[in-house]
Structure 1
Amino acid sequence: MDIKASLNAPSEQVIILLMVLVQFINMVDYMMVMPLGPDFAKALSIPVHEAGFIGGVYTFAAACMALLLANRLDRVDRRLALLCCLAGLAISTFLATLATGFYSLIAARVAAGLFGGPAASLAMAIVIDHVPDERRGKAMALLMSAFPTAAVIGVPLGLEMAHWFNWQAPFYLVSVSTLFVMILIFWILPPQSAHLAAARKTPPFKMTTALTDPIMRQGLSITGTAIFASFLFIPHLSPYIQFNLGYPREEIGTLYMIGGLATYIIMHVTGRLVDRLGPVSITWLAAAGSLTIIFTGFMPPALWPVIVTFAGFMACNAMRNVAVQTTNSRIPAPQQRAGYMATQSAVRHLVSGFAVAISTLILTTNETGALEHMTSVAWLSVILTIMLPWQVSRLHRSLTLRKQQQTEKRALAT
């Protein structure tokens, strides 16, 4: 054992913080494209209702790369793989600033997705490696807090930079920030190769495992349902708020900041509640809140102020995702974590991209720029929102039974 390395090993909290930074950069890189849609659509002569495809291609590219690497991520040092992915993300995000039209911007976002997807999976696997089950809910909430933090800090800053300078400015900022995070990881995080020892005794993750293991299939299923319900709305929030609800463009950054703050608070409360009460009850609570927001904010007439609809949507979505991700984190063994998380990421990106495509095909833009047929999108989300708690309950029962069986086997062995 390397005593010096052991003494200098970063704490659990430091490791989580580093991975939160990775997720933050990834989330800003992805999230800022959606609210910036009206800006680069105008600059590059892209129809507003087609701007959602710019976000959608990122998700499909991330899914494809995650599927290609799922069988290999558990066979290498997670730290080295993460640094390679972040380097690719920095370069591809910079290339977006050179776009001159719809197709060149699409190409740059495809490249970003190829590296961003595996980076998120590796960050998740590293956190799961270092955090035991009894603190997993809180850890997942911290890791997923990158989303509201991006909404509070990253997206508003990107919107303001685009307003002050041009639409390329936020992409410059993300590229430089990614390089900074790479330096921190190289300097602080030791090699992450403990899972390789377990892989010598038990085979690492294979894609066929996710298809044949009923618990893994259930985990991927709840991920798909949660993401589909959310991404029917997410790419279209900015134009819907501006053109349908009449919210001024200059205040969109502030709106994302307030919504992100509400999400951040709810997410950390949810993480603690999941550890205490379990994910099933939290998923039912999130479903009730989501249905309320959908019926009162996305079906005419809108009954709440824009800020209530937006903040409520983001907070309920975050609550649902923490419960789903905590449940999923308990499924794979150590030598299967990166591969399973990559497969989950692929499902997340494929489903979100499919949801973006479906909602974009349903919606149309009228002469004022307002989105029509939002009620149809809302009803589709309602169906999925009602399905999710039942799915989580079923998976939770399967995990409990598996744990009991493993405990009985160990007792018999001793």
Structure 2
Amino acid sequence: MSVTTQSATHEGRKEWQLLSILAAIQFTNLMDFVILMPLGPQLMRVFSVSAQEFGLIVSAYTFSAGIAGFIGALFIDRFDRKTAILTLYTGFAVSNLLCALAPTYVILLAARVVAGAFGGIMSATAFTIVGDVIPEARRGAAMGFVMMSFSFAQVVGVPTGLVLANAYGWHIPFYMLAGTSTLVILIAVKILPPIRGHFDHRTDESAFRSLFSLLTKPEYIKAFIFVSSMMFAGFAVIPYISPFVVSNVGLSEGDLPYIYLLGGAATMFTARYFGKVSDRIGKHRAFALIGGFSAVPLLLLTNLPKSPLWVTLVVTTLFMILVSGRSVPAMALITSSVEPGKRGSFMSVNSSVIQLSSGAASFVGGSILGTSASGQITNYGLVGVLAVATSFLSIYLSRKIRSTEAKNVPTPLEELPVEAV
């Protein structure tokens, strides 16, 4: 084996280790978010709270993550990426332990605020590391690999958590997350290399001035508006899929797990595939194609009449594949649009934009919907039309995103100091 081949093999192995750690971090982060909603009936019964009060527990994470993203932008680029993500991950693990130990509704609510604060910035930092280390030519595939964690959380994490919760109580999934996070931290300390390449691009600009420039620079504003439109197109529809297919399409509540199991299983494969396609044909073109085709399931789902289970599953699976698939080239696009010295702060603000635009989309979608005398949801088709229009807007806006990679080349893993491989 030649020296060049050995070097390439070693480089590939280190990339795989890095991406596996980031995917594991994202898995626990996403698992923490998605497990809470299925636990709703137990939590409402145990704490004797209303649906509205339970909804506050869910939204506490989102709003906390949104606010924390702006705060994180003030300091995140001042630290080694490894130090930053492990510190945030430790706080996240502790917040899950606090959730598991929460004896009252108020304490659980406070623990969810803490989880959102750490989880939101942590997720942004994970994608920042991909942008810092993985060359643009392979970044789509890398993003797809890390983003498979959401599918894995749906297919494996949520069912496992629910089985344990039903058998031993709602605390168990949070104990499981705290324990898993601790194990990942111990492995990450050994495997993750120090990542300080962004220090070479630092300026003497104050933290607040740097944040101000992030929020006012035209190139960054375009990226934030782009990601807002993409998230809006999805989350105007997503929160209302379950009630719609039960009340309008004719599924039973017992059929709902099939939607998420099948959709999650499919996206485990398609996320990586879309990433490779993005690298091969270009991120802009890939986003335009996936985003354009996503209009089909958006309109089909929001106008679906009474249908057998298999028809519904085909439509919902296609929806999950294409609507979530857009995010793979989109994340590769926006991580390439910012200089390494500001990438952490940029992605932290971007995390806030994602959380806030998702919340706004859910609110707008819910405001349009109504309920008929028979209990069916009305105007969902109108929400679908709005989502499609916003989706095509995001395709147009994606053309405005320009890469800075010609001027800023990521530091290869081969050149990073590694503590242990």
- The normalised TM-score by structure 1 is 0.85
Matched, 1:144 2:123: no
Please list, as runs of the form range in 1=range in 2, the aligned pairs for 1:160-179 lying within 5 A after superposition.
160-179=163-182
* 1:14 partner letter: Q
1:45-80 deviation per Cα after TM superposition (whole angstroms, max 9, x unaligned): 555577554333212111111101102111112222
1:58 aligns with 2:61: yes
- C-alpha displacement of 1:248: 3.9
Following superposition of structure 1 onto structure 2, how do residues 243-262 of structure 1 map, counting pairs within 5 Å?
243-262=247-266
Secondary structure of the corresponding residue to residue 264 of structure 1: helix
Number of residue-to-residue matches in the alignment: 396
**The one of 47, 71, 75 aligned to 1:72:** 75
- Match for residue 273 of structure 2? 269
Residue of structure 2 equivalent to 1:351: 357
- CA deviation digits over 1:352-398, x for unaligned, max 9? 12223333445567899865543343333222112111111232xx4
Q: Flag the 1:350–1:50 CA change in 2: closer, same or farther, 3 A.
A: same
Contact kept, 8 Å, 1:266 with 1:318, in 2: the verdict is: no
State the alpha-carbon separation in 2 of the partners of residues 364 and 288 from structure 1. Answer: 28
**Quick one: distance in 1 between partners of 2:368 and 2:52?**
11
Shift of 1:186: 1.4
Contact preservation (8 Å) 1:228, 1:351: yes
Residue 57 of structure 2 aligns with an amino acid whose one-letter code is I
Match of 1:333 among 326, 331, 339: 339
Unaligned runs of 5+ in 2: 1-9, 409-421
Residue 143 of structure 1 deviates from its aligned partner by: 1.5
Distance change in 2, residues 1:374/1:8 (3 Å)? closer
- Counterpart Cα distance in 2 of 1:162 and 1:245: 29
Normalization by structure 2: what TM-score?
0.83
Q: What residue number does 1:387 align with? A: 393
- 8 A contact 2:227–2:394 mirrored in 1: no
Contact 2:19/2:146 (<8 A) preserved:
yes
Distance in 2 of aligned mates of 1:200 and 1:346: 24
> 2:250, 2:306 within 8 Å by CA — same for their partners in 1?
no
SS of equivalent residue, structure 1 residue 33: coil
1:99-127 per-residue CA deviation (whole Å, 9 max, x = no partner) reads 56765543322211000011111111122
Q: CA deviation at 1:320?
A: 0.8
Of 295-304 and 277-286, deviating more is: 295-304
Match of 1:220?
A: 224
Query: What aligned pairs does 1:71-110 form with structure 2 within 5 A after superposition?
Result: 71-98=74-101, 103-110=106-113
- Report if the CA contact (8 A) 2:77-2:343 is conserved: yes
Please give the residue correspondences for 1:170-189 in structure 2 after superposition, counting only pairs within 5 Å.
170-189=173-192
Percent of aligned pairs with the same amino acid: 30
| Superposed CA offset, 1:20-39 (max 9, x none) | 11111111111222344455
Indicate conservation of the 8 Å contact 1:18/1:185, yes or no: yes
Residue of structure 1 equivalent to 2:6: none
Deviations 1:120-157 (A, max 9, x none): 11111122221111111111111111111211211222
Q: Which of 296, 303, 308 pairs up with 1:299?
A: 303
Partner of residue 4, structure 2: none
Whole-angstrom CA distance in 2 between matches of 1:319 and 1:206: 32
Looking at structure 2, the residues matched to 193 and 284 of structure 1 have their Cα atoms a distance apart, in angstroms, of 34
**Contact map agreement 1:202 1:335 (CA 8 A) in 2:** no
8 Å CA contact 1:240, 1:371 repeated in 2: yes
* Change beyond 3 A, Cα 1:201–1:97: closer
SS at match of 1:34: coil
Equivalent residue letter for 1:84: T
Match for 2:186: what amino acid? I
Alpha-carbon deviation of 1:159? 2.8
Unpaired runs of at least 5, structure 1: 1-6, 408-414
Does the CA-based 8 Å contact 1:16-1:143 persist in structure 2?
A: yes
Letter in 1 for 2:124: S
Change (3 A) 1:374 1:159: farther
